Structure 1
Amino acid sequence: MSIGNSPDGNFPEDERPFEDDRDERLAERPSIGRALQQARIAAGLTVDDVSNATRVRIAIVHAIEQDDFAPCGGDVYARGHIRTLARAVRIDPVPLLAQFDEAHGGRPAPTPAAPLFEAERIRPERRGPNWTAAMVAAIVAVIGFVGFTAFDGGDADTTQVAEGSTPTTSKPASPTPKADKPDADPKPDPTDSAIAAAPRDKVTVQVSAADGRSWISAKDHSGRLLWDGLLKQGETKTFQDSSKIDLVLGDAGAVQLYVNGKKIEDDFQPGQVERLTYTKGDPEVG
């Protein structure tokens, strides 16, 4: 009996290469999709159950069970879906992944590390906020606002007495009695100063606390507060605007008003609160 090869080059029946046995085992092994489907049915799960548990779309689950991995979007995603579905139906994903790699050219090569480091190296450095530019912008905004306010405030419509922001306060000078005349000359009429400070193109209001003290509030035509405070007896305040003066008198009976150089003859009662408005066409009762 010959131990080597037969003369015709064929192997004996019991000495065939092991590759034939491997091919038979592969032929008997179920496909990946079939294995997953059988495991799902054995676990008593539906495709909807597996989809809800794994968040893999129902269409992809159906495709994988039919051994159609195209909807996965690539081998990397297909391997991930196979691993996820195998765990959901309680089978080992390792043999299925090995079977997938055999059929699709092996496991995908890992991404080279060099490009990642290069991308990290050339990533633009984050910079903090440019505080210098922010401060310059803020200064420019403040200067612009101040300039606009100054230009707007210089308009003739909001001009006050002597073009100042604070009304003048004056006390009538006390006459000095003369030695040879026991009776001094009477005080000058407050209307003299009111007339002198009453240009025709503006409204001028003079408030004198003649008979006591009174709280006074005055605003111009735009509602800007000109003065707000207590006017003591003997004191005088003069307010001026291009079109209108609004007054509030806390004790109207204690004050005397002169509008555009003319005395207002109103019978105000002591303790009476009055809200008055005067314009260039007055004096009229406010």
Structure 2
Amino acid sequence: MSIGNSSESSEPEPEPESEDDRPSVGRSLQQARINAGLTVEEVSSATRVRIPIIHTIEQDDFTRCGGRVYARGHIRTLALAVGVDPAPLVSQYDAEHGGRPAPTPAAPLFDAERIRPEPRRPNWTAAMVAAIVAVVGFVGFTLFNGGGSQSGPVSADPVTSKPSAAAPGKAGSGKASSDPKAEASASAIAGVPANKVTVKLTADNGQTWMSAKDHNGKLMEEGVLKQGASKTFTDSKRIDLVLGNAGAVQLFVNGKEVKNLGDDGQVQRLTYTRGDPSAG
């Protein structure tokens, strides 16, 4: 019996499959940007990250970021701009580059909003000028009101003397005054011009990247709309919108709320005219 002629012993054993078939961090960011329909220039304008740095990050080259702390910050910023969760990408970067870096004094410098200005000496001259202006204004206001009170009784304001339109709501169920969304919708309907298209965006459930163009294709505004912030756009014919995180946006078109825009992280391209929406 010859063991060396055995066909089974000569066959190579199959190599084990790779445990991690995930795309790289840069490739994931690039693919998410393409899926969102955004160019590198649009992402750079929204995030203030320079175009060459975005290109190198998408090629998995983080040497131009200025260090691991800044690289993590760039990854998080770009992920939010293209509508993906930054946490898995940051964790993947840490795993590929020696773990999460230890906290250093340089880390807060990445967030420009946390930079504290250097203490300045008080400007006593400006304070004295402001105090003098306040005193003069108070004296003038007092003299003006005093002179007006001698001319006779002030007539009642015809607007405030009328019964309030919300008075029936107090006698009834009281829902009209207690529902802030109903009040916001009524206010939006009353304030829009009938001969134009008016769009109001509010980042209600989180921040989102957005852009708005008029009927000529001219860019009205683009950038990141932070949570709680609102933007209103008006045009004579049409407004084209791009929302990077549709699930976070509350949208009013011509004074009517448009619901069910999309899910969190979903990119939506929308167009509205003076006759929209047909049902708000």
TM-score where L is the length of structure 2: 0.34
Larger radius of gyration: 1
TM-score where L is the length of structure 1: 0.33
